[in-house]
Amino acid sequence: MVGVTPPLLAVDAPSLYFRAFHGIPEKAAQTPAGEPVNAIRGFLDMIAQLVRTRRPDRLVCALDADWRPAWRVALVPTYKAHRVAHGDVEEVPASLERQVPVLLEVLAAIGIPAFGVKGYEADDVLGTLAATQPGPVEVVSGDRDLFQLVDDARGTRLLYCGRGVAKLEDADEALVTAKYGVAARHYADFAAMRGDPSDGLPGVPGVGEKTAARLIGRYGGVAEILAALDDPDSGFAPGVRTKLEASREYLGRALPVCEVTTDVPLPEFTPALPRSPRDEDALLALAERWNLAGSARRLVDALAG
């Protein structure tokens, strides 16, 4: 539309390729030799659909250079502990793990930047892009933690794909408030109190979403809630005060774990949407080798569109 500035599409690549891997049966997307390419095909098709429907003029894919940063684990040792395969290696299906390097080769051949930053997760890269790049910025992810990045003033939205790219929730501040009862800027406080079993964060025992939202609405974020505990006249119900007092130390450590970092040192990159493949010969070779012709063509056509 006239007068509408095209957005930067900031993509949580692990979120999308995990979703593609689990959403498309391996037998439905293979090379002639029987090698699965379901994650690659699904990812490329999702990006093609996003480009067609969102009409960005910039596109960046964020990666997990460190899926479980040591500084977060030092604060909350249970952080993602249930997803460790061995040592500090994430438990990833072998057939998906083999596809990721190929996917990155395809993105490089097309000219779509994809990078992570040592010591940080993809979420932190996305947070820094949202904080530093000219708006509007549309973050694409199935990770609820990224609701905290939504900022109407900066033009930052979350395209939440919890039910798939075809059923995106286009989240502005009103949607976050309606969905969780807290402002987007307080989503990390809300998550720290509520907890998140998928990330190994226990939360405050006995404090669920409704209580967490009510406390934030009355007192503010975790820092303000903890400060209010020191005031005997602050109005906490006795049972809630007891629960919060017992979790005071945990909340102090959990909040920075839940907060997305917004000042990651990003590498140099060119976000401009490529209108044609950067290396067409390399893309053709990859498409032939890995049986990706259809998905690669759909993405190239979307970019040219």
Q: What is the pLDDT of residue 35?
A: 97
Instruction: Report how many helices (DSSP H) and strands (DSSP E) the chain contains, helices first.
Output: 14, 8
DSSP reduced 3-state for 166: helix
What class is the 184-258 domain? mainly alpha
Question: Over pLDDT 70: what percentage of the chain?
Answer: 98
Render the burial of 70-82: b for 16+ CB within 10 Å, e for the rest: eebbebbeebbee
Q: Is the pLDDT of residue 212 over 70?
A: yes
Q: What is the pLDDT of residue 10?
A: 98
- Per domain, the residue ranges of the chain are 8-180+261-294, 184-258
In this structure, which topology does domain 8-180+261-294 adopt according to CATH? Rossmann fold (3.40.50)
Q: Is the pLDDT of residue 1 over 70?
A: no
Question: Over pLDDT 90: what percentage of the chain?
Answer: 91
pLDDT for 112-126, tens place per residue? 999 999 999 999 999
Residues 6+ apart with CB under 8 A from 229: 236, 241, 244, 245, 248
Q: Which two tokens stand for residue 12?
A: 């949580």
Q: Is the pLDDT of residue 301 over 70?
A: yes
